[in-house]
Chain A
Amino acid sequence: EDQVTQSPEALRLQEGESSSLNCSYTVSGLRGLFWYRQDPGKGPEFLFTLYSAGEEKEKERLKATLTKKESFLHITAPKPEDSATYLCAVLYSGAGSYQLTFGKGTKLSVIP
């Protein structure tokens, strides 16, 4: 069973059409939730870290929120350059150490 589930798997938006990406998790002992952007053939680029339920972070057209079970990445008035795969990762304490687990990502395509 996946511990980190991202939905939808793929999302196509018209330029300017706002939407949200979801990252749900089932781990306990959450230490942090991370959002990354990954362009094709590239390594992930850090966007946000969220540590506790109720926390919000913003950067340009992106806003990340966190609850006890999930996180949302809201994209307001997206532009074609926002097209990428967005990954979330959950850091939690387990087996005496920290574990970092990634979701499979949401591939966002923004059409001009």
Chain B
Amino acid sequence: NAGVTQTPKFQVLKTGQSMTLQCAQDMNHNSMYWYRQDPGMGLRLIYYSASEGTTDKGEVPNGYNVSRLNKREFSLRLESAAPSQTSVYFCASIGLEGLPKNIQYFGAGTRLSVL
């Protein structure tokens, strides 16, 4: 059981380039999340998807787009990367069924540097 899988693990981009961060979970969870983690600013929610077919903005959505491709996959896209988007990105999912409920599971993260 892999849990939450993120790809790639590392990425270096030049300013203006685009890329998509992939996330997949195999726990049949309805809700999925994208966070960024920056020193001194903690984890901040970028976008989330409460269920397949729905997405909503979090605290810091500007410069990002998301797609909930199906129940398993939730991708994060940077259309035109900026140095301010240098960060560690985490994907997470929550299961509302079964026990224990409402525990967030995290992927290992993607370290992104924008030069």
Indicate, yes or no, whether A interacts with B: no
Measuring CB to CB, which residues of chain A are less than 8 angstroms from any residue of chain B?
A: none
Residue numbers of B with Cβ under 8 A of A are: none
